[in-house]
Amino acid sequence: GSIDQLVELVAADMERVNATILSRTGSDVTMIPEVANHLISSGGKRLRPMLTLAMANLAGYAGEGHVKLAASVEFMHTATLLHDDVVDESELRRGRLSARMVWGNEASVLVGDFLLGQAFRMMVEVGSLRALDILSSAAATIAEGEVMQLAAAKNTATTEDEYLAVIRGKTAELFAAACEVGPVLGGRPKAEQTAAASFGMNLGIAFQLVDDVLDYGGKSAKLGKNVGDDFREGKITLPVVLAFRRGNDVEREFWVRALEQGKIGDNDLNHAIGLMTKHRALEDTLNRAHHYGAMAVDALALFPPSPMKGALEQVVAFCLARSH
Ligand code: 2DE
Ligand code: MG
Ligand code: MG
Ligand code: MG
Ligand code: MG
C-alpha cells in the first residue's frame, strides 16, 4: 500500500490547495504565520485534504469549491494538532519540537483558533451550506471525542466500546467529513454521500487504531513522536483495554498503579509492552484495524472502477502498513 498513486492523481489540485493554505495562514500578526508554518511545512502527508480532492473527483465535480474545502480540512486538522499537543503535553510532532515547546501553550492554542476561524471563512466562501454543516458538525464532534477521552483518562475500567466512541469522534469524524463533502459538492445521490462518509469513518478508525499501536510498538525516530506518550499520560487506548482485560490480578495492579496513579518507573513502559505482547494486545488491535480497513474498501463498492478508486484502496493499505 502506498499513497503515491493518490498523490499523483490529485497533484494539480493539491498545488492550488497548497497555495491557498499559504495565503490563508498570512497575517500581519507575524507570530501567526510563524507558528502555523512550523507545523504546516513540517512534511505532513496532507492525507485528509487529498481525500476531499479524491472524493470530489470521484463524484465528477467540475467546480472550484473542492480546493477551498480541502484547505479548510487541512486547517481544521492543523488546529486539532496544535491543541492536541497542548492537551497531551507532547514535545515532538513530525520529528520536530511541537509548536508549544517553541512558542508556548498559549500561542499554540490561539493560532489553532485562528486556523479554525480561517477554515470556516473558506467554507462560507464555497457557499455549500451542506458542506458547512458537515465540517462544522465534525469540529464539534472532534472536541466531544477529546472530552470523552479526558473523562476516560486514567480509568482502567474503560471498555472497548467507550474507546471506539472516543476515536470515532477525535479522529475518524474528520476523515469522514473530508470524504463526504466531495459527493456533496458534486450534487451526487445521498447513497454516494453516505458511502464516502463511511469510507472515511472506517479508514479513520483504522488509522487511529494503528496510531495507538505505534505509541507502544513503533520507533520514535520513524514516528516523529515519542513512543510511550500515551502510557505516560495514562491514556486508555485499545492495547491497554485488551491487556488489562486479559491480565491476571498482579498485572491489573500494575496497570492501575501506572495509569490511574501515574506511578511510573524507568522500566515500566517496557513492562507494559511485555504484557501487551504476552496477551497479543497489539496484534489484536491491528486485527481490528484490518477489519475497519476492509469495511472502508467495501464502502467504495458503489463507485465504478477507476484509477482514483484504486488509489483510495491503496490508501487503506498504506494506513494499515504504517504499523510495520
Ligand atoms: C489524535 O489523537 C486526535 C486528535 C484530535 C485532537 C483534537 C482536539 C480538540 P492522538 P497523536 C485537541 C480541538 C478541536 C478542534 C480544533 C476542532 O493520539 O498521537 O493524541 O498524533 O494523536 O498525538
Ligand atoms: Mg496527541
Ligand atoms: Mg491526543
Ligand atoms: Mg497517538
Ligand atoms: Mg498521543
The answer to whether 202 and 293 have CB atoms below 8 angstroms apart is yes
pLDDT in tens, the chain (324 residues): 899 999 999 999 999 999 999 999 999 999 999 999 999 999 899 999 999 999 999 999 999 999 999 999 999 999 999 999 999 999 999 999 999 999 999 999 999 999 999 999 999 999 999 999 999 999 999 999 999 999 999 999 999 999 999 999 999 999 999 999 999 999 999 999 999 999 999 999 999 999 999 999 877 777 888 899 999 999 999 999 999 999 999 999 999 999 999 999 999 999 999 999 999 999 999 999 999 999 999 999 999 999 999 999 999 999 999 865
Residue 130 to residue 145: CA distance in whole angstroms? 22
Q: Which ligand is nearest to the CA of 234?
A: 5
DSSP of 201-225: HHHHHHHHHHHHHHHHHS-HHHHTS
Residue 38 to residue 43: CA distance in whole angstroms? 10
Is 87 a pocket residue for ligand 1 (Cβ < 6 Å)?
yes
Burial label for 271, CB within 10 Å (0-12, 13-18, 19+), is middle
Give φ, ψ of 267 to 5 degrees.
Answer: -95, 5
Q: Residue 55 corresponds to which amino acid?
A: M
CA of 188 to the centre of ligand 5 (A): 37
The answer to whether 44 and 94 have CB atoms below 8 angstroms apart is yes
CA distances from 316 to 211, 230, 251 (A): 14, 24, 35
Strand partners, 97: 92
Residue 206 to residue 208: CA distance in whole angstroms? 6
User: CA geometry: angle at 239 spanning 233 and 243, to 5°?
Assistant: 105
Q: What is the pTM of this model?
A: 0.97
**Residues at Cβ < 5 Å from ligand 2 ion:** 84, 88
CA of 230 to the centre of ligand 5 (A): 5
- Model pLDDT for residues 237-248, shown as the tens digit of each residue: 999 999 999 999
The answer to whether 258 and 231 have CB atoms below 8 angstroms apart is yes
CA of 61 to the centre of ligand 5 (A): 36
Listed in sequence order, the residues at least 6 apart from 253 whose beta carbon sits closer than 8 Å to its beta carbon are none
Question: Can you give the three-state secondary structure of 125-158, one letter per residue?
Answer: HHCCHHHHHHHHHHHHHHHHHHHHHHHHCCCCCC
Residue 73 to residue 132: CA distance in whole angstroms? 11
What nine digits make up the cell of 157? 475500567
- Model pLDDT for residues 174-201, shown as the tens digit of each residue: 999 999 999 999 999 999 999 999 999 9
Atom of ligand 1 nearest to the CA of 170: 5
Is 107 a pocket residue for ligand 1 (Cβ < 6 Å)?
no
Q: Which ligand is nearest to the CA of 109?
A: 1
Mutate which of 108, 120, 150, 170 for ligand 1 pocket (most atoms within 8 A of beta carbon): 170
Q: Which ligand is nearest to the CA of 204?
A: 1
Burial label for 263, CB within 10 Å (0-12, 13-18, 19+), is exposed
Is 184 a pocket residue for ligand 1 (Cβ < 6 Å)?
no
Q: Rg of the chain over CA atoms, in angstroms?
A: 20
